[in-house]
Structure 1
Amino acid sequence: MRLPLMALLANGPAHGYELKQALERLFGAAYPQPNIGQIYVTLGRLEKTGLIRGEDVTQSDRPNKRTYELTDSGREAVAAWFEDLSHEPRVRDEFFMKLALAPQTRMADQISLINKQRRHYLNLMRAMSRLAAEEDQGNLISQLLIEGAILHLQADLDWLERCQEDLE
């Protein structure tokens, strides 16, 4: 949550609720809605570390609000984040750990685990497909996020098929 919030602040100062709305508009229903409390906690931590700077803004008809903006070090951190690559492939998969340990522990059957996980992925895929149909067609980012999730699920299903074939 830290770096996406900081990236949004690259456009200029904003308060927490504006950042929450910006995330919701950008990602749509495809991404879990951010918790406003967590946003303000994160902003407080970023301010303490010097990556953003807060300023109280007086409002005549409402309580004061606090807006935040990136500091130079915050802008450098966001630029470094955009340059950084995802370093690890998905090898630390909890399901695979269960699959690998099942025969040793004799507490679960590998094929049963695969079938249960397959049903779960298929349910998720149906839910994502429904979400894609319901989502605002003008929100390209949300549509791409949903499409990516569906493609990942399809790859996971293909991998489960391969596991089952090799184990049987």
Structure 2
Amino acid sequence: MRLPLLALLAKEPAYGYEIKQSLERTFGAAYPQLNIGQIYVTLTRMEKTGLVCGREIVQARKPDKRVYEITETGRQELTKWFAEPTEGPRVRDEFFMKLVLAPDTDLADQLTLINNQRRHYLNLLRGLNHLAAGEDRESRVSHLLIEGAVLHLQADLDWLERCQEELT
């Protein structure tokens, strides 16, 4: 969560609650709701490591707030993050490890494992489709995030079919 927070602070200084609202506005319901405490803990850690600096804003008739802004070190870290590709295919897939190792243990059946995983993916897919149906079509970012997750799940379901053909 550290780097997405830095990206928001690269746009403009903000306090924790503004960052939470910005994330929710940007990603909509497609992104899990962040705990405000987690945001403030992350900001505090980033301040200790020099990625952001915070300053207290004294407000009349309101509690003081701490506004954070990105430092040059934070900008360098963010630039590096943007330049690096993200993880690729899951070669070390935990489900596949279970599937391959199960027959030697006599504790799990491969077909049962595949069917359980398929049910799990289908439940996730239903949840995403329900989320997409309730999502405002104006939220392109949220829609793209949901669509990407759906496409990944569909590919995973196809892969399960292939595993079933080959292994059972």
TM-score, normalised on structure 2?
A: 0.97
- Residue 94 (structure 2) pairs with residue 108 (structure 1): no
- In the alignment, does 2:103 pair up with 1:136? no
Q: Which residue of 2 aligns with 1:36?
A: 36
User: 1:1-168 counterparts in 2 under 5 A?
Assistant: 1-168=1-168
Q: Deviations over 1:96-149 (max 9, x none)?
A: 111111011111000110011101111111110111010111110000000000
Equivalent AA in structure 2 for residue 82 of structure 1 = F
The alignment partner of 1:10 has SS state of: helix
- 1:163 is aligned with what amino acid? C
- CA deviation after TM superposition for structure 1 residue 87, in Å: 4.3
Q: Percent identity?
A: 66
Q: What RMSD over aligned residues (CA atoms) do the two structures have, in Å?
A: 0.8
Structure 2: runs of 5+ lacking an equivalent: none
C-alpha distance in 2 between matches for 1:74 and 1:89: 29
In structure 1, what is the Cα distance between the partners aligned to 2:33 and 2:87?
A: 26
The gaps in structure 1 that reach 5 residues or longer are none
Q: Report runs of 4+ in structure 1 exceeding 6 Å deviation.
A: none
Distance 2:94 2:32 in 1: 21
Report the Cα distance in structure 2 between the residues aligned to 1:87 and 1:153, rounded to whole angstroms: 17
Shift of 1:89: 2.3
How many aligned residue pairs are there?
A: 168
Matches of 1:99 and 1:115 in 2, distance apart?
11
Question: What is the letter of the counterpart of residue 91 of structure 1?
Answer: V
- TM-score, L = length of structure 1: 0.97
